[in-house]
Amino acid sequence: MNNPWRHALALLTGLLLSFSTVAAEAPPAVRIAIVAFTQGGAPVFGGIPGRVIEEGWLAKQLAERGVKLEWVALPHAGAGPQINEGFSNNSLDFAVRGDLPTVIAGAGGVPGKLVVPGGSGNNIYLVVPTDSPVRSIQDLKGKRLALHRGRPWEFAFSNFLHSQGLSLADFKIANLNPQVGAAAVSAGKVDAAVLLNEAYALEDKGVARILWSTKQGANDWRLVSDLFGTDLFVEQHPDLTQLVATAWVKAAWWISQAENRDAYYKLSSRAGIAESVLRRDDQDDPVAWKDRWAPKTDAQLEAHYQALARYALENRLIRTPYDIRHDLATHFTRQALQDLQLTGYWPAVATQLSKQP
């Protein structure tokens, strides 16, 4: 009587083992999506991805396991929707996402786990035409302002406005991406524009001047980007996810060393931004160079994303609340710091990162 049950149990056990083997089987490639410039028909990567590529450690580690490393270049305009689609249908494995797009995606049900937190973030700039009589943000009230809505810099700029007793409703907003916004302010089509470091390129051309930047604001107002992995990949391939996380932390550590700063600028300038612009973007920054590359702690991430989610909900950018705590997988970063013997390099980081798998 027991033989049929034993036979069925044996078949079930075999099936479970088979599924487990399939789940653990290495994929043919690890696909990482990054916003990139194109030169000569080929994408060029700067920053941490550029260093990961230049060093070659990650590609070698994956190759030893029979896995290719594929970089998916995304255009600056429309990168968010492509990442969301790639994460939803698992045509991508990892991507660097900005904080506000992450909240919008997460509230919309797009899967993703935060594997490696970004550093202190990038600065944003408010520029006006060179000959503009505007001398303060108050002078711009009621005027035309170019701002790409729903992108990471919106939250930073809104924080600045709030500190000045203003809101986006006090301006005539033209929803333009930074490249189009830069052209619009140069041509006098708008009275001001919220831009990234291309603000310095406009200054070099003599067509615009910087009125304000996040260098004059709170450190948590900056544009923040983090490395995310798809739920499926992180769950099925924690070993490969760890390799990616370790490569990312290793690159951040290399860049953060003062002796590598010039090499970093040379590397990143290949991605379409003049080295002089990159240097001025960092000049007079209140955050020390080494600290700029320290991964954010869980406490910092939770505070930042909670404030961001409230903003998105209040401004109807999302319809349902979003809680980043459900998507934290920063134990990979903690393990990377341990494996690289860097737990004391950024003292405030290691003890605060999530210890939960």
State the CATH number of the domain containing residue 90.
Answer: 3.40.190.10
Segments of the chain scoring below 50 in pLDDT: 1-23, 357
- Number of domains within the chain: 2
Q: Are residues 212 and 65 in the same domain?
A: no
C-alpha closest to that of 191 among 245, 281, 251, 131: 131
Residue 6 falls inside a structural domain: no
pLDDT at 14: 45
Residue 57, both tokens: 């450690």
**Where does a domain end: 176, 192, 221?**
221
304-356 confidence digits (pLDDT tens): 999 999 999 999 999 999 999 999 999 999 999 999 999 999 987 866 665 55
Q: Are residues 176 and 236 in the same domain?
A: no
Question: Is this model's pTM higher than 0.95 or not?
Answer: no
Q: Measuring CA to CA, which residue among 153, 143, 148, 158 is closest to residue 189?
A: 143
Q: Is the domain of 196 the same as that of 59?
A: no
Q: What would the two tokens of residue 219 be?
A: 């450190």
Same domain, residue pair 282 and 142: no
Q: Of the candidates 168, 193, 221, which is a domain's last residue?
A: 221
If one counts every other C-beta atom within 10 angstroms of the C-beta of residue 160, the result is 20
Residues 137 and 198 in one domain: yes
Pair of tokens at residue 330: 């920063």
Q: Do residue 294 and residue 152 come from a single domain?
A: no
The residue from 199, 221, 243 where one domain ends is 221
Residue 4 has a pLDDT of 42
Q: Are 117 and 109 in contact (CB under 8 A)?
A: no
Residues 328 and 239 in one domain: yes
pLDDT of residue 49: 95
237 found inside a domain: yes
Please tell me the distance from the alpha carbon of residue 156 to that of residue 152, in angstroms, as a whole number.
Answer: 7
Domain that holds residue 141: 125-221
- Burial degree of 209 (CB within 10 A; 0-12, 13-18, 19+): middle
Ranges of beta strands (E only) in the chain are: 29-35, 37-39, 42-44, 68-74, 94-98, 113-116, 125-129, 144-146, 172-174, 192-195, 208-213, 225-229
For residues 192 and 57, membership in a common domain is answered with no
